[in-house]
Structure 1
Amino acid sequence: MSRTVIHGGLVVTASDEIHADVLIEGGRVIALAAHGSDVAEGWTGRRIDASGKYVIPGGVDAHTHMEMPFGGTYASDTFETGTLAAAWGGTTTIVDFAIQSKGGSLKAGLDAWHEKAEGKCAIDYGFHMIMSDVNASSLKEMDQLVSAGVTSFKLFTAYPGVFLSDDGQILRAMQQAGSNGGLVMTHAENGLAIDVLVEQALARGERDPRYHGEVRKALLEAEATHRVIKLSQVAGAPLYVVHVSAEEAVAEIARARDEGHPVFGETCPQYLFLSTDNLAEPGFEGAKYVCSTPLRPKEHQAALWRGLRTNDLQVVSTDHCPFCFNGQKEMGRDDFSKIPNGMPGVENRMDLLHQAVVDGHIGLRRWIEIACATPARMFGLYPKKGTIAPGSDADIVLYDPHAEQTISAATHHMNVDYSAYEGKRLTGRVETVISRGVTVIDNHAYVGHAGHGTYLPRGICQFAH
């Protein structure tokens, strides 16, 4: 049975910063021992020197879309390329979204995603279920999926004719989740109103990418957020709002939490570091930044950072859904509404959030909390994932907090022809990544392989029941 000791580093978890050696055997953390102790010194096997480095849990990205069909094309990262890129960025677990087809069963959608991912992933993975068709049959299937370890279900108030569920369908799904322990996740934007604004903008000849942000108004995110919160209260069920981007939506979540309701919010690096200034870049460059919810004016960033500090927002995921600028984003060159919605980011999240520590937006332990521990707790993976503790999977990253790097499409590993953060200089860099005791990235070299990653059946949300 393989044994490893990581010695000399500062172990950082959501709760602690301790100088300790990490003892690993058979893919699990066996113990944390004092530097230089007899048990650490006597531990046979591979020895990894982490002096001057942080030893942190592998990142848990609870919102990715590998190979997702959208608008007549597919997200450009496969499970193989996307999980490889995640590993390079210090993420050792993703939770991707399987999609129920209209008229199809939840199980058929889940099976299709299992087929895409099986034997391809460089790191461990689980699935949420997107419900596109809420009816008596799919509601009954929710119980079966929860029993089988798919314990979260995403519904949309956006994208009429594709994903949108009406309030009655959302309420029924929430009621079902309330009874079976599942967690409903919502994409909260008023899609019907947005479609009216899109139609009016195009009629005025407003076709550039920046109009994508202007029609998807912050007030329509706030309205939908308010609405799904009230539906969850009626249903007596917990709620997780994905990719929160607007100050007004954060306020709705904060109000509900202040009233004691089990409402949770996620934001993404693009809303923390980018803005409508990017959408308005000259020519067609703004298309690179088209995602939904959209980028907001810079002044919204302060509310998002404050929400992360006060725990009104609990998780930072990426909503990684990359489309190449050439050939995919270009589908909307004459009509912003035809630009595929989504951005790359799975490789950049841990580094960008470390930069937030350097910049003073969040503390060191909070970095690990929002990127590792809380997503693992939220989606039934903790303490197997998200921490470094006896019995946890040995998903561990050696992180150099002093190394400097510049983000660029020329050096990233995501299968997309641009970077949303091109030229951004960061302090901090992933050095070595271990997944279940097996080294995947070794001192800036990939030594893993497709198929190492295993599927993770999940428990229920640890905050809501």
Structure 2
Amino acid sequence: MGRTIFAGGTVVTAEGSFDADVLVEDEKIVAVGTDLSYEVAETIDVSGKLLMPGFIDGHTHMDMPFGGTVTADDWATGTAAALAGGTTTIVDFSLQDVDGSLGDAVDTWHEKARGKALVDYGFHVAITNLAQVKDEISRLPELGVSSIKIFMAYKGTPLYAEDADLFEAMQIAREAGVLVMVHAENGDVVAKLQEQALAAGNTDPVYHALTRPEEAEAEATNRAIQLAEIAGAPLLVVHVSCAAALEPIHRAHELGQTVYAETCPQYFVFSVEDLRKPGFEGAKYVCSPPMREKWNREPLWRGLQLGDLQIFGSDHCAFNFEGQKDLGRNDFTKIPNGCPGAEERAMVLWTHGVLEGRVSENQFVAVLATNQAKVHGLYPRKGMLAPGSDADIVVWDPMLETTATVANRHGNVDYTPYEGMDFHGGPSEVYVRGNLAYKDGDVIAEHGSGRFVERNFTHPAI
């Protein structure tokens, strides 16, 4: 591609905002400054708009088997939804087959993405059988993978890991330069509460939340942090949903421990009351950790403000209401866990965070792009608007008004939990490596145009 100048906009970075033009050439940013001019350059007028680095979503589940079914969004429809939300790079979870290798998992996910992905992408590896693959962890960086995920929840499934395995994985990962991510819920407690609920005849969706109490998340979060401290390993706690789980994270930061933490949009706009909706409607809001009492939102906002929560991911894990969510119509434990959110992630944060004065536009960029790039080993190639970085650019229109409906979503799900929700501000155009990929509601990128990006974890200070 030739030279392109994005002219007349306001550049918004994690550090500050300023009026500047952005010059792009050969998929890279060449210069950021005022009065940039080249005789042979296409000029794109972005007056009145904000120029931001392409958003990164380090927590998606595309085409993933779970609970006897497979997520509704594959790599074509899921990345279309991500693009419509301003996301130009995702990091998805390749799932180890219980009898397979980590290399096999990565290869399988490459096949899932090939010919479909509309955005750039990387992979985590979710480990289901540590004993079989512990020797492989040190070789993951050779595959461009810099993180593994361990599940402290889902007891009785291959995902569940005992403390001994979690701790050993931390020790191995520390030596390999690989980041350990945890889904922190006490699997034993949740399993026992579920058993007791079903025995009492409590089968409705709300019992998904009631059997996964905040204390179970808080206890597991604290346990993972303490184990990581003993192992001398950095840790990423994903989808933090409540104040009780945030407390040990804040304490770890005060003590100087390297603990990264993520939260997600659903915890800022939905609550346990949504799971109480009449009929089986509550199943649409079933995800893990579950929606919490509304009062948890303010502590989570403070976590973003203070930097205890450094990244804002979607945990996009979409299942259709008909034929998937309704597998648990008579047993809440059989409702597939997960909600769509890749498309709405940034708009939730802008509407309820920036516009309501809870976070600045610079913090917005930090938790959606820059910190994501640092934590997930993509920085400085991704996550910033600076010479040498990929020309992943979001043209953000602060005046854009959107009402979410299932009809105007870009994914492949038969409902949206955000139905009827109004968003103020959103992406008008999205560029992946300088190539126009989304404009005014339409996905333009070609399937397969997304590229695999190798990642390298560097223990960033944020």
Shorter chain as normaliser: what TM range? over 0.9
Q: 2:342 aligns with which of 320, 343, 346?
A: 346
Q: 1:161 aligns with which of 156, 179, 184?
A: 156
Spell out the pairing of 1:149-298 with structure 2 (5 A cutoff): 149-162=144-157, 163-298=159-294
Q: 1:419 aligns with which of 416, 419, 438?
A: 416
Cα pair 1:56 1:368 within 8 Å, conserved: yes
User: What residue number does 1:405 align with?
Assistant: 402
User: What residue number does 2:12 align with?
Assistant: 12
| Equivalent position amino acid for 2:391 in 1 | A
Q: How far does residue 131 in structure 1 lie from its aligned partner after superposition?
A: 0.6
Cα pair 1:183 1:461 within 8 Å, conserved: no
What is the alpha-carbon distance in structure 1 between the residues aligned to residue 401 and residue 39 of structure 2?
33
Q: How far does residue 442 in structure 1 lie from its aligned partner after superposition?
A: 2.8
Matched, 1:72 2:68: yes
Matched, 1:386 2:377: no
Cα pair 2:93 2:125 within 8 Å, conserved: yes
| Equivalent position amino acid for 1:153 in 2 | I
Q: How far does residue 43 in structure 1 lie from its aligned partner after superposition?
A: 4.8
SS of the aligned residue for 2:181 comes to strand
| Equivalent position amino acid for 2:302 in 1 | R
What is the alpha-carbon distance in structure 1 between the residues aligned to residue 461 and residue 39 of structure 2?
40
What is the alpha-carbon distance in structure 1 between the residues aligned to residue 47 and residue 141 of structure 2?
43
SS of the aligned residue for 1:434 comes to strand
Q: How far does residue 464 in structure 1 lie from its aligned partner after superposition?
A: 6.3
What is the alpha-carbon distance in structure 2 between the residues aligned to residue 376 and residue 461 of structure 1?
11
Cα pair 1:190 1:224 within 8 Å, conserved: yes
User: What residue number does 2:143 align with?
Assistant: 148
Cα pair 1:93 1:124 within 8 Å, conserved: yes
Q: How far does residue 147 in structure 1 lie from its aligned partner after superposition?
A: 2.8
User: What residue number does 1:313 align with?
Assistant: 309
Cα pair 2:88 2:120 within 8 Å, conserved: yes
Percentage of pairs with the same residue: 47
Q: How far does residue 41 in structure 1 lie from its aligned partner after superposition?
A: 2.9
Q: How far does residue 441 in structure 1 lie from its aligned partner after superposition?
A: 1.2
What is the alpha-carbon distance in structure 1 between the residues aligned to residue 142 and residue 405 of structure 2?
42
| Equivalent position amino acid for 2:235 in 1 | L
Q: 1:363 aligns with which of 360, 363, 379?
A: 360
| Equivalent position amino acid for 2:12 in 1 | V
User: What residue number does 2:371 align with?
Assistant: 374
Cα pair 1:315 1:374 within 8 Å, conserved: yes
Cα distance change, pair 245–461 in 1 and its aligned pair in 2 (3 A)? farther
Describe the superposition over 1:346-375 as per-residue Cα deviations: whole angstroms up to 9, x where unpaired. Answer: 111111111120111211100000000001
For these two proteins, the number of residue pairs brought into alignment is 460
Describe the superposition over 1:155-198 as per-residue Cα deviations: whole angstroms up to 9, x where unpaired. Answer: 01111232111111011100011111110000000111111100
Structure 1: give runs of 5+ residues left out of the alignment. Answer: none
User: What residue number does 1:33 align with?
Assistant: 33
SS of the aligned residue for 2:407 comes to coil
Describe the superposition over 1:360-413 as per-residue Cα deviations: whole angstroms up to 9, x where unpaired. Answer: 121110000000000100011011111100001000011110121111111011
Structure 2: give runs of 5+ residues left out of the alignment. Answer: none
What is the alpha-carbon distance in structure 2 between the residues aligned to residue 93 and residue 370 of structure 1?
14
What is the alpha-carbon distance in structure 1 between the residues aligned to residue 212 and residue 38 of structure 2?
60
Spell out the pairing of 1:436-447 with structure 2 (5 A cutoff): 436-447=433-444
Extract structure 1 runs of 4+ deviating beyond 6 A.
none
Describe the superposition over 1:223-254 as per-residue Cα deviations: whole angstroms up to 9, x where unpaired. Answer: 11111111101100000001011211000111
Cα pair 1:238 1:464 within 8 Å, conserved: no
Q: 1:57 aligns with which of 22, 43, 53?
A: 53
Structure 1 stretch displaced more, 210-219 or 104-113: 104-113
Matched, 1:86 2:82: yes
Cα pair 1:82 1:415 within 8 Å, conserved: yes
User: What residue number does 1:302 align with?
Assistant: 298
SS of the aligned residue for 2:76 comes to helix
What is the alpha-carbon distance in structure 2 between the residues aligned to residue 157 and residue 433 of structure 1?
37
| Equivalent position amino acid for 2:218 in 1 | A
What is the alpha-carbon distance in structure 2 between the residues aligned to residue 44 and residue 329 of structure 1?
54
**Scaled by the length of structure 2, what TM-score is found?**
0.98
What is the alpha-carbon distance in structure 2 between the residues aligned to residue 274 and residue 195 of structure 1?
24
Matched, 1:101 2:101: no
SS of the aligned residue for 2:175 comes to helix
What is the alpha-carbon distance in structure 1 between the residues aligned to residue 122 and residue 115 of structure 2?
13
Q: How far does residue 463 in structure 1 lie from its aligned partner after superposition?
A: 1.7
Q: How far does residue 45 in structure 1 lie from its aligned partner after superposition?
A: 2.3
User: What residue number does 1:2 align with?
Assistant: 2
Matched, 1:118 2:114: yes
Q: How far does residue 25 in structure 1 lie from its aligned partner after superposition?
A: 0.2
Q: How far does residue 11 in structure 1 lie from its aligned partner after superposition?
A: 0.5
| Equivalent position amino acid for 1:381 in 2 | L
Cα distance change, pair 326–25 in 1 and its aligned pair in 2 (3 A)? same
Cα RMSD after superposing both structures? 1.2
| Equivalent position amino acid for 1:144 in 2 | R
What is the alpha-carbon distance in structure 2 between the residues aligned to residue 300 and residue 27 of structure 1?
42
Cα pair 2:4 2:41 within 8 Å, conserved: yes
Matched, 1:431 2:428: yes
Cα pair 2:428 2:441 within 8 Å, conserved: yes
Cα pair 1:379 1:462 within 8 Å, conserved: no
